[in-house]
Structure 1
Amino acid sequence: MLRLAVAAMVALSAVASPAVASAPAGRVADDAYGALGANFNENIDDLDYGELQEARAGWVRGFFPMPAVNQGDPAQHVAIRTLNEASGRGYRTILSLKFPYNKASFPAPGSAKLAAELARLDKVLPTVMGKADILVIGNEPFIESLPAERDQRLNTFYETVARHVIDYRRERCGADCRTTLYMGALNRLDLPDRRTPAAERWMTFVRQTPEIEGVDIHPHVPTVESTQLFLDYILARMRTDQTFLATEFSLVHHWKKHLKDPVAATFAQKYGFAPGTQVWQVIKAAADEPFSQAKWNDFLASSPWFTSRSGFLGNQMRMFRGTGRLAVATYGFKQDDAMVKDFGPTKDPWLLNSVYASHTVKPRPSGLSAPSPWLKSFQALQPSTR
């Protein structure tokens, strides 16, 4: 069944991978292997079923910030409520549990602070276990932590949380529990200084824990080739029956290098921008007052730094699928408020990744967000049956 599922995933357009190795015999649902879904991060309230249908997406991903438990019933939090609703509509779902310790130390083993964190977890797990298809333990631990504590303290905390989740699933959801578990997510493995002893121990825990299906990665990279360094690192350190997620990936570091480039003279002249106007200034103008679809398309089409990477989504998925070990990847689906707020020459241009240009382009008469150039690639990378 798994090999047939992988074969089905590559029966796509030429944008997709021409061949994929057979998937390992894991416990993730057969139709997960090689999937490309929609990532919303914390902005799951922006989910629009018409846009998901247009994009032919079958998977949806968001994350839940654990401190939100202190603000009310987790089941009513927008992330969990929306993902559970999407599941009820037939979509497959991924929820990442976010533990933000970038402004405070990890709780010490046996401490009251750790007990309180696990008590919060016990309020969340009943709302998602057996409902989400995939639960990722952690969001970006090596970013959401104090730099000085990205060592064994990080490992001890996340291993404790993982064992707690594993015990809960075994005791409350049973051997045939729908929800599979991954550890996530690792960032910037293309940089040698990120392959630390703590990252090595992270992968050792993943490999040695039978209940963990694999690891999540977030390859936000300057080049497609940089992603290979992520794959080389994790695949060599997992069991052969394990798979990986890529719930975030992008060329954001490439886009950022070009924010101070001058825009094309032809574009500037056509739309009334002064000669020498820089890329970031045009993006800010669109953020302040959304462009027409034609104007935004002309801006991107006149930008060699963008058009030269127009095959990114297909190339990246070809690399992921070519391993035969990809469970699910999810790609940034819509621009959000944080992406456009105070846009300037040093801001990370996440908005250039999105499948829908919901903040830089006026919505369509139908009410659906304007598509970005990534929409056609995203559609082409879906199974032909969807």
Structure 2
Amino acid sequence: MHEVEQGGPNTGRRSERGGPSRRKLFGIAGGGALLLAGCGSDDAGTSGGGKAGRGNSGGTGGGSRTQPQPQHSKRPAAPEGALGANFNEEPRGTTAAVLADLRTKWVRGFVAMPELDTVRAARQPAISSLLSLAASGHGTVLSLKFPYQTQPLPRPGTSAMDAALNRVDKVLDAVLGTVDILVIGNEPFLETRDQDRATLLNPFYEAVAAHVITERERRRGGGRRTRLYMGALNHLEHPDWRTPAVDAWLAHVKATPEIEGVDIHPHVAAIEHASAYTEYVLPRIRAEQRFLATEFSLVQWWKQHWSDPVPAIYADQYGVARGTPVWQEVRDAAATPVTEQRWRDLLTHTTWFASRTRYLTNQVTRFRATGRLAVATYGTLQQPAMVRDLGPAKTPWLLNSLYTNLVVQPSADGRMAHNPAYFDAFRALQDGS
């Protein structure tokens, strides 16, 4: 995802800390086994260098504070075609119980680096959650987000660059050797000013990568078990996004032996559009390098139909005025959660959604068919930012989520309902991971 509260592609993102009702809904996820609900699916969806000698100046104290290896749980091996859960920057509710319900061993989140100025890395919510899940035996992926949409990226060798690398050091102190995969960048081409993409972007990220590589080598020991990727690329289905700067990004990945591959985020309108990512990226990196897809979805397809009317059969059954746009019905459900059956009826009677119920299966199958997928992760819980200021211009990220925790009433024992299209598919795909 590349929106703050899903309001625009070039803004930073802050998670809503919300009122009691939203906190309660997120708390539901921690309790025991979850509601087993699924549905059948029909037709497939179509349509430069760092500052190597800096040491630990950015830490919160002297020496390395790399987390100890968990002693009680076996961690996953190097991933090949794994499918995991993604919480972005909002870890609340993504518990070990939820991951067990999903039958996945992998989980991904990201940290916005400016947060490290005010909170210790090990206590930052996304990092803390990943460290805890790593200790319980899960494979973990952490992306570093550098939000520079409103200011220039720092130039290597400047005090601003030193400040950025100080933040990186704080993260390294907390995660090296514990987090399985560290992704240098989140969505850099969206999180950088337009005018800086061709000039400042690559020097900045190359300097960060060089610094991380040097620090990992300097600390030796278990730190080397944290694999490094660069990420993530967006909008490659559009030729005007396949720029010389993107080619330079991929050339750097290819030329750097310590980097194991690149992350992609194909949020698209048709499954065929995601193929443009792998077809463009994979020939431009080394044959032994792999790719991550830590975010992917059909959200652009949902967006095209967001203002379509609710199905007439649904409107008549639930006393909704014919012609009511889908976004309005979803907004009402977010304000007053509906029964699981009502939400299921809304989606299964909506042809533009129901015709895409095999998307997750088909997309992961395509990723795996390349033979070079390391990990793909898919959105897990609906997050408060997804329903804030919900209207016709809102990007409908919440239609992706595996759980419908913000629009559907929990069961009497607090269990969350499932996305009627994708939950069972996600679980079934674990057999191939």
TM-score (norm 1): 0.91
Instruction: Confirm or deny that 1:335 pairs with 2:382.
Output: yes
Provide closer, same or farther for how the CA distance between residues 113 and 131 of structure 1 changes in structure 2, counting only shifts above 3 A.
same
1:81 corresponding residue in structure 2:
128
Alignment coverage as a number of residue pairs? 360
Question: Which one-letter code corresponds to 1:235 in the other structure?
Answer: L
Q: Distance in 2 between matches of 1:354 and 1:37?
A: 13
Q: CA deviation at 1:214?
A: 0.2
Q: Distance in 2 between matches of 1:260 and 1:123?
A: 44
- Secondary structure in 2 matching 1:46: coil
Where do residues 56-205 of structure 1 align in structure 2 (5 Å cutoff)?
56-174=103-221, 177-205=224-252
Q: What is the identity percentage for the equivalent residue pairs of Structure 1 and Structure 2? A: 50
Alignment check: 8 A CA contact 1:287 1:360 kept: yes
Q: CA deviation at 1:315?
A: 0.5
Instruction: Confirm or deny that 1:376 pairs with 2:424.
Output: yes
Q: Deviations over 1:123-170 (max 9, x none)?
A: 110101000000000000000010111113100000000000000111
Question: Which one-letter code corresponds to 1:113 in the other structure?
Answer: A
Q: CA deviation at 1:121?
A: 1.2
- Secondary structure in 1 matching 2:276: helix
Question: Which one-letter code corresponds to 1:377 in the other structure?
Answer: A
Q: Distance in 2 between matches of 1:67 and 1:369?
A: 33
Alignment check: 8 A CA contact 1:151 1:197 kept: yes
Q: CA deviation at 1:72?
A: 2.0
Question: Which one-letter code corresponds to 2:256 in the other structure?
Answer: T
Give the alignment partner of residue 276 of structure 1, picking from 323, 329, 342. 323
- Secondary structure in 1 matching 2:200: helix
Q: Deviations over 1:79-124 (max 9, x none)?
A: 1111000001111100001100111101122111111111121111
Give the alignment partner of residue 91 of structure 2, picking from 41, 44, 68. 44
- What's the RMSD between the two structures over aligned residues? 1.7
Alignment check: 8 A CA contact 1:206 1:212 kept: yes
Q: Distance in 2 between matches of 1:61 and 1:111?
A: 31
2:362 corresponding residue in structure 1:
315
Alignment check: 8 A CA contact 2:177 2:222 kept: no
Q: CA deviation at 1:50?
A: 2.1
- Secondary structure in 1 matching 2:232: strand
Alignment check: 8 A CA contact 2:76 2:139 kept: no
Q: CA deviation at 1:48?
A: 2.5
Q: Distance in 1 between matches of 2:139 and 2:366?
A: 23
Q: Distance in 2 between matches of 1:348 and 1:119?
A: 34
Question: Which one-letter code corresponds to 2:424 in the other structure?
Answer: K
Q: Distance in 2 between matches of 1:124 and 1:317?
A: 30
Q: CA deviation at 1:54?
A: 1.1
Give the alignment partner of residue 254 of structure 1, picking from 301, 307, 317. 301
Provide closer, same or farther for how the CA distance between residues 293 and 102 of structure 1 changes in structure 2, counting only shifts above 3 A.
same
Q: CA deviation at 1:171?
A: 0.8
Question: Which one-letter code corresponds to 1:42 in the other structure?
Answer: E
2:341 corresponding residue in structure 1:
294
Q: CA deviation at 1:267?
A: 0.4
- Secondary structure in 2 matching 1:236: helix
Question: Which one-letter code corresponds to 1:74 in the other structure?
Answer: A
Q: Deviations over 1:270-310 (max 9, x none)?
A: 11101111111111111111111000000001000001000
Q: Distance in 1 between matches of 2:286 and 2:219?
A: 26
Unpaired segments ≥5 residues, structure 1: 1-13, 16-27
Give the alignment partner of residue 362 of structure 1, picking from 409, 412, 415. 409
Q: CA deviation at 1:364?
A: 2.3
TM-score (norm 2): 0.81
Provide closer, same or farther for how the CA distance between residues 175 and 200 of structure 1 changes in structure 2, counting only shifts above 3 A.
farther
1:19 corresponding residue in structure 2:
none
Q: CA deviation at 1:175?
A: 8.2
Alignment check: 8 A CA contact 2:265 2:295 kept: yes
Give the alignment partner of residue 238 of structure 1, picking from 282, 285, 288. 285
Q: Distance in 1 between matches of 2:221 and 2:148?
A: 31
Q: Distance in 2 between matches of 1:172 and 1:112?
A: 24
- Secondary structure in 2 matching 1:225: helix
- Secondary structure in 2 matching 1:305: helix
Give the alignment partner of residue 345 of structure 1, picking from 388, 392, 401. 392
- Secondary structure in 2 matching 1:188: coil
Q: CA deviation at 1:55?
A: 1.0
Alignment check: 8 A CA contact 1:267 1:298 kept: yes
Alignment check: 8 A CA contact 1:291 1:361 kept: yes
Q: CA deviation at 1:29?
A: 6.9
Q: Distance in 2 between matches of 1:241 and 1:75?
A: 33
